[in-house]
Structure 1
Amino acid sequence: MGKKINPIFFRLGKNINYHSLWYCEKKKFSFFLKKDILLREIIKKVFFFIDLNNIDIIFSNKLIINLYLNNFENILNIENYLDLLILEIYKIFKKNILLNLINNIFVINSKKIALYLINYINNKNSIKKIIKRECLKYSDSLNGCKIQISGRLEGVEIARKEWFLFGRIPLHTIRLYIDYHHCEIITQYGVLGIKIWIFKK
């Protein structure tokens, strides 16, 4: 069962917080949900050049938005786009906006590792070596890490899976935090799926 369920959804409300923090009546739920989705689309459109790890949206008297940035060194570029983002949001929502930028550059997370892997795969490096090297790079700071890539690896005709694991990934223990990310990369041979699990106490 642990392998068939997204580990983040499995732990929501227990030891992982929701990224959309708002409450409304049952009748207004669809209205607020559309607002939430629209906000996320606007942020991703304006900050298309930046690697956002997560977006927190909090509806209260003010509209509070927390942006967790993986590449915080591009902060000079971001400042030019902040006014544009606040203007676009204000046009639609007519609310005061509080925007927080949170530096996530020193935090090891699964999305950041996935972006490194995508760059290596685009450079046509050996996938088995890439997976092992990326896993063992963080062996001192993590309790466990598992990386799996599946598809037509290196152009072979029959699709297969390559994976590497160090430490342990306790998927059934809800009180432990597992960071998980799944993404796809389009290569000239087809689509490859990348899954990453990180366990850190």
Structure 2
Amino acid sequence: MGQKIHPIGFRVGITRDWESRWYAPKSQYRHLLYEDYLIRKTIKQRWYSAGISRIEIERAANIVRVIIYAARPGQIIGRGGQGIEEVTRAIHKALHPNKPDLRIDVEDVRNPDTDAQLVAENIAQQLERRVSHRRAMRQALARAQRANVRGIKIMVAGRLGGAEIARTEWDRVGRVPLQTLRADIDYGFAVAYTIYGTIGVKVWIYKGDIPITERRILLSSITTPETAFETPARPARPAGGERTAGPRRRRGGPRRRGRGGGGAQGQPRGNAQGRGQPRGRKEREPETPPEGETPIDE
């Protein structure tokens, strides 16, 4: 009834890759997972204005590689790479007393209008500046159309315009097939903090279908490429159409008692007259005269 699963988590391992890529023993898994959370939280809060789309983390031995995808990477790198050193110090402070060997890479997001997370954050910032939510949604839809996306859907929920009762409004351009696994759908969520309360912003962007070759490469870590999208073949029947030995399987469920279903075992099924006889009145059999009487000819 209208509840939507997270589109990215729904497609992880099929058309989307994991944002944290590492292996760890069971005793260390929760510690490394919490470190990933602290790394993302520290970078996102401190460099929010840089337009960070996502943060990927890779681990190998004691080396941690952090890949930051940002719309304005210059704010993170700084002059002569001084910003990278600042990012390293901030992460080491958050992970104290652990100090892993960090490798920071910053990648540029070339088209922010097609990134769902950046679109959601842009709308949230406009709502905090008291811009009308309908105007912010229309502008985002128009920019996405100019960027040649296949479809985009935007939803805002909260006390829109300072209303007493919270409500939800949404708008869509194109098609957004959420239940199609091969569809490349990006999802983003942001929160606008206004004087009336918080307003949630959700954005879905449909960029087209992913070719089967790319899906095979992504699934190669789980299954072999040859068997990733093959259906198991049905077992061949014996030659000549002969059935294998064994008890014959009766179709259908158990027989039911009742009208037309027969009684106990051994009794005929159907009406009492048996098959082959018409329904209705039975034919009268000739009467046999009692002993000692002569039949009267009519």
Asked if these proteins are the same fold (TM beyond 0.5), I'd say yes
Q: Structure 1 pair 17/127, CA: closer, same or farther in 2 (3 Å)? A: same
Equivalent in the alignment of 1:85 = 87
CA root-mean-square deviation: 2.4
Whole-angstrom CA distance in 2 between matches of 1:186 and 1:34: 26
What's the TM-score, normalizing by structure 2? 0.61
> C-alpha offsets along residues 150-176 of structure 1, whole Å, 9 cap, x if unaligned?
111111222222211011111001121
- 1:117-156 CA deviation, whole Å, 9 max, x = no partner? 1232233233223212311222141000001111111112
Paired with 1:123 and 1:35, the residues of 2 have a C-alpha distance of: 34
The higher-RCO structure (CA 8 Å, 6+ apart) is 1
Partner of 2:133: 127
Q: Using the alignment, how far apart are the partners of 2:163 and 2:91 within structure 1?
A: 47
Q: Which amino acid aligns with 2:32?
A: F
> Unpaired segments of 5 or more residues in structure 1?
none
CA 1:105/1:74 → structure 2, altered by over 3 Å: closer, same or farther? farther
The equivalent residue for 1:70 is: 71
**CA–CA separation in structure 2 for the residues paired with 1:32 and 1:119:** 32
**Which residue identity lines up with residue 188 of structure 1 in the other structure?**
I
The superposition leaves residues 18-44 of structure 1 with CA deviations (integer Å, 9 ceiling, x where unpaired) of: 111001122321122122223323433
The number of equivalent residue pairs is 201
- The SS at the match of 2:10 is helix
Q: Give identity over the alignment, percent.
A: 28
Q: Output the CA distance in 2 between the equivalents of 1:139 and 1:100.
A: 31
Alpha-carbon distance in 2 for matches of 1:178, 1:23: 27
CA distance in 2, matches of 1:103, 1:3: 34
Alignment correspondent of 1:199: 206
Deviations along 1:56-98, one digit per CA (max 9) or x if unpaired, are 1111043211111122343563732211333455675444332
Q: Give the 3 Å change call, closer, same or farther, for CA 89–112 of structure 1 in structure 2.
A: closer
Counterpart of 2:218? Answer: none
Pick the structure with more helix per residue.
1
Larger gyration radius, structure 1 or structure 2: 2
- Aligned positions of 1:154-169 closer than 5 A: 154-169=161-176
Aligned to 2:212: none
Alignment partner of 1:102 out of 82, 98, 107: 107
State TM-score, norm by structure 1. 0.87
Higher strand proportion: 1
**Map of 2:149 onto structure 1:** 142
